[in-house]
Structure 1
């Protein structure tokens, strides 16, 4: 037991160190976790014999619940709703098209059995939220046209469809369901039960979190963990799609106002990161590189077909309906990374009673390895080459942990020449209620303010105030000023803004509060506030 715990701690520490190293080297961190698992595995350096697929399938199912829940919980719906029709079309119809095309390729080109070909297509049909989120965050990919939100919403919501296809094909292979009517009935049951139960649990969970007084700190987060587990188990017991329900509950709870939501976001961010490490490490641990030569060529062929033919054929026609340009279609096609879900589904196939002639697990292993290594590494470069980077955007806004919640806010005030507070004691200055001077930056010195402290020219006053927490949210918007913008080269007092006000200007890495005489220039990012923006 002690040796096992020591080994687990060493693996986790190594994974965290790999995270830092991979970011510096430009290699997706999830690839490092797979390779670390291989190093510990039977054919690796440490030669730990481990082939308990049944245990891993159960562990990975739990891990995927957290990954699916946080896929919804961490998505900022305010940013994503604009691209929701595109994303949901890709996550449903796009998954079916991808699975079918890969199945046809495996059947006609690789000469696999028909049902087994479709099964491989279903397992590999969904893009991986963990992989996509990891690349977008670590590489700070600020993509045009809401593409980051599109990729997040698609990758977070398409796993339930891939799961449903995998379960259906496995049941047909076992001879349990084969008629079109029974298949359609199963699909409708999976979707409807998943949707209805998911929305019901989300509403109950939201009401409970807002009304229950959790006297012990952290119990509200534990309560949400229980809600996430219920979101999967309850609809699954009723014959519904548990992963669809889990994603819906996460999406709803992640986009409503909840007490101590900041702590919940950080908890699930860390927990999901640990689950991702676990899934990818276990995949590497289960892999036997000595068995790779027999499936390497088919796996490479499937990866190439999936990446360059199946994914584009599934993405481009669907996005063309929404008049997306070719650059966005190309980036979305390339960003179809395979990962945790495909791993879990491949393990599920391995432990299932349905007979498969080929080594589905190791085929999927190779495809995931190539997808993360090649597509994940080249995604930033391809985005730049297609001119899809827009530095006036911030990809972190598409995640719910972008805005840090705090009951205390700080502002900086510089006492420039002529300011009426210069030469006065702090105790003689009338400040607004609940506002205090926290400390003073005077050159290289930090001054703790007292009532008798005399303010000097060029002092920077760091002032604190209680954060606004009213029931009606303050509407804020950012406006990027390019060369052709109507506000370019105009002073603020020349603008007609009856229902809003420019409260901040971001210019060349610096931010300042403008006055009426401040002039707007090309490249400025304006922060507006008001009831009607």
Structure 2
């Protein structure tokens, strides 16, 4: 019998350290991404952990699934009302900007590394997308915000540019290996993948909302289970159809997150936790995959590529993308600087490894080094750069207490869900006449698919789910009042012919 307990022990310990350390990293402005990667490298064969791991196929599989779930959570948490005004800017950055950045970086990489142009362009495509998780983890940790529409622009770009980078990478891998079609075939193939991904994602989001609101599973905990399965199904199904699974899963999350869905708050919290687990697990695994001793051999070359990417390719791509929208220069400067590279480039760097591309090891090591430099240099200087450009704003304060059922509030009261049973003595009573305890404040009444904000004249019905702000004593009295055998005081109750 194979014992898996030692592996589970090590994995759980690494995730625990990463989760606890991310709080401290955010407070000091150190990107959590580097913490996760560093832990993986320390646990690897070149570190004190001594764990031997060189399976690029496993790393790629885990990375792709993790990216899909992270993008789904990104869609869920993106507010359409905020990104709609910057839709053109974000999508232009995610397409034209990615292409320009990949081209400039690729040409420079071919010259610096002394490799064929197509190999340099492949490297440029791999590092062409930005990472939203790293950017906003730093902003939240420093309790700062960005002025104007910078933040929603970056949010939309980061959530939607991964598919373009994936398409460019796969296409250039085919070019390098000699399996690519002609130019027209490449353009048609990319357009097809983007179109199928968009249609599949929106269809999946619409279907998910319809199913969740009408199916109504018996247990509340099944809602996030269903959305998790749908996210994976959307990604995998779209890829099978020949489309971009990353675009599909992001748009599905965007649709669900911006429409009324039962237990939406629970679904969002669940997928936020899943996204964090995916980030930690993916970065730890990618940290295990790299050999730090090999990075020294490419350090100077990788630094040169990183410098071109940060100081030339990204600013030019930002200028070309945002110039038609007349975005102020100072805002363009911040957008250009907040172009952190993260998980996607490292995952994409495994594609050449698995396809047997010549000098694939060199590409992987350079990409890993570029990502570390980008996050370390840009991620720790976002606040001073934003201040330099006059685009720094205080972030909105976070509430001290989340208002949710079952969580005690500072005054000792708690939001509770209480159901009016069939045959209840208050069935048909107006709320003001129901004789409920004064200490029990009915905040919301859920009746079927409707959520009602009650007034004194609102009549209760059997089956109503009441969200009540109350303490323990009043809750007991309230439940007694709702029982079918409760006796209403004389003169209270539904008028004749009602209830």
Q: TM-score when scaled to structure 1?
A: 0.75
Task: Identify the match of residue 123 of structure 1 among 118, 121, 126.
Answer: 126
Matched, 1:297 2:279: no
Give 3-state SS (helix, strand or coil) of 2:381's partner: helix
Match of 1:457 in 2: none
Counterpart-to-counterpart distance in 1, 2:185 and 2:443 = 59
Matched, 1:376 2:379: yes
1:25-40 alignment runs, 5 A limit: 25-40=28-43
Whether contact under 8 Å (1:409, 1:467) holds in the other structure is no
1:191-230 alignment runs, 5 A limit: 191-230=194-233
Give 3-state SS (helix, strand or coil) of 1:44's partner: coil
Match of 2:155 in 1: 152
Match of 1:87 in 2: 90
Match of 1:349 in 2: 352
Match of 1:482 in 2: none
Matched, 1:360 2:363: yes
Q: Go from structure 1 to structure 2 and tell me whether the alpha carbon gap of 1:349 and 1:93 turns closer, same or farther (over 3 Å shift).
A: same
Q: Go from structure 1 to structure 2 and tell me whether the alpha carbon gap of 1:473 and 1:141 turns closer, same or farther (over 3 Å shift).
A: farther
Match of 1:518 in 2: none
Match of 2:460 in 1: none
Q: Go from structure 1 to structure 2 and tell me whether the alpha carbon gap of 1:432 and 1:375 turns closer, same or farther (over 3 Å shift).
A: farther
Counterpart-to-counterpart distance in 2, 1:118 and 1:136 = 32
Match of 2:470 in 1: none
Counterpart-to-counterpart distance in 2, 1:148 and 1:395 = 16
Over residues 478-524 of structure 1, what are the superposed CA-to-partner deviations in whole Å (9 max), with x where a residue is unaligned?
xxxxxxxxxxxxxxxxxxxxxxxxxxxxxxxxxxxxxxxxxxxxxxx
Q: How far off is 1:437 after superposition?
A: 5.6
Give 3-state SS (helix, strand or coil) of 2:98's partner: helix
1:55-454 alignment runs, 5 A limit: 55-356=58-359, 359-391=362-394, 394=396, 438=439
Over residues 396-427 of structure 1, what are the superposed CA-to-partner deviations in whole Å (9 max), with x where a residue is unaligned?
79xxxx99666999999xxxxxxxxxxxxxxx
Q: Go from structure 1 to structure 2 and tell me whether the alpha carbon gap of 1:411 and 1:25 turns closer, same or farther (over 3 Å shift).
A: closer
Q: How far off is 1:331 after superposition?
A: 0.8
Whether contact under 8 Å (1:346, 1:361) holds in the other structure is yes
Q: Go from structure 1 to structure 2 and tell me whether the alpha carbon gap of 1:407 and 1:22 turns closer, same or farther (over 3 Å shift).
A: closer
1:491-510 alignment runs, 5 A limit: none
Match of 1:499 in 2: none
Q: How far off is 1:185 after superposition?
A: 1.7
Q: Go from structure 1 to structure 2 and tell me whether the alpha carbon gap of 1:108 and 1:468 turns closer, same or farther (over 3 Å shift).
A: farther
Q: How far off is 1:14 after superposition?
A: 0.8
Q: Go from structure 1 to structure 2 and tell me whether the alpha carbon gap of 1:149 and 1:473 turns closer, same or farther (over 3 Å shift).
A: farther
Q: Go from structure 1 to structure 2 and tell me whether the alpha carbon gap of 1:118 and 1:395 turns closer, same or farther (over 3 Å shift).
A: farther
Counterpart-to-counterpart distance in 2, 1:178 and 1:358 = 26
Over residues 76-121 of structure 1, what are the superposed CA-to-partner deviations in whole Å (9 max), with x where a residue is unaligned?
1122212121111101111111111111111234322111111101
Counterpart-to-counterpart distance in 2, 1:130 and 1:298 = 27
Q: How far off is 1:471 after superposition?
A: 6.4
Q: RMSD of the alignment, in Å? A: 2.7
Whether contact under 8 Å (1:197, 1:245) holds in the other structure is yes
Over residues 449-479 of structure 1, what are the superposed CA-to-partner deviations in whole Å (9 max), with x where a residue is unaligned?
xxxxxxxxxxxxxx844148796999xxxxx
Counterpart-to-counterpart distance in 1, 2:302 and 2:445 = 55
Q: Go from structure 1 to structure 2 and tell me whether the alpha carbon gap of 1:389 and 1:203 turns closer, same or farther (over 3 Å shift).
A: same
Q: Go from structure 1 to structure 2 and tell me whether the alpha carbon gap of 1:370 and 1:395 turns closer, same or farther (over 3 Å shift).
A: farther
Q: Go from structure 1 to structure 2 and tell me whether the alpha carbon gap of 1:253 and 1:64 turns closer, same or farther (over 3 Å shift).
A: same
Counterpart-to-counterpart distance in 2, 1:114 and 1:359 = 15
Give 3-state SS (helix, strand or coil) of 1:145's partner: coil
Gaps of 5+ in 1: 413-430, 439-462, 475-533
Matched, 1:12 2:31: no
Q: Go from structure 1 to structure 2 and tell me whether the alpha carbon gap of 1:329 and 1:213 turns closer, same or farther (over 3 Å shift).
A: same
Q: Go from structure 1 to structure 2 and tell me whether the alpha carbon gap of 1:472 and 1:360 turns closer, same or farther (over 3 Å shift).
A: same
Give 3-state SS (helix, strand or coil) of 2:48's partner: coil
Whether contact under 8 Å (2:353, 2:360) holds in the other structure is no
Whether contact under 8 Å (1:91, 1:154) holds in the other structure is yes
Over residues 335-376 of structure 1, what are the superposed CA-to-partner deviations in whole Å (9 max), with x where a residue is unaligned?
100001111111222212333365111111111111111111
Q: Go from structure 1 to structure 2 and tell me whether the alpha carbon gap of 1:37 and 1:433 turns closer, same or farther (over 3 Å shift).
A: farther
Q: How far off is 1:39 after superposition?
A: 0.7
Match of 2:426 in 1: none
Counterpart-to-counterpart distance in 2, 1:151 and 1:406 = 33
Q: Go from structure 1 to structure 2 and tell me whether the alpha carbon gap of 1:321 and 1:48 turns closer, same or farther (over 3 Å shift).
A: same
Q: How far off is 1:167 after superposition?
A: 0.8
Q: Go from structure 1 to structure 2 and tell me whether the alpha carbon gap of 1:282 and 1:323 turns closer, same or farther (over 3 Å shift).
A: same
Q: TM-score when scaled to structure 2?
A: 0.80
Give 3-state SS (helix, strand or coil) of 1:390's partner: strand
Gaps of 5+ in 2: 412-430, 454-499
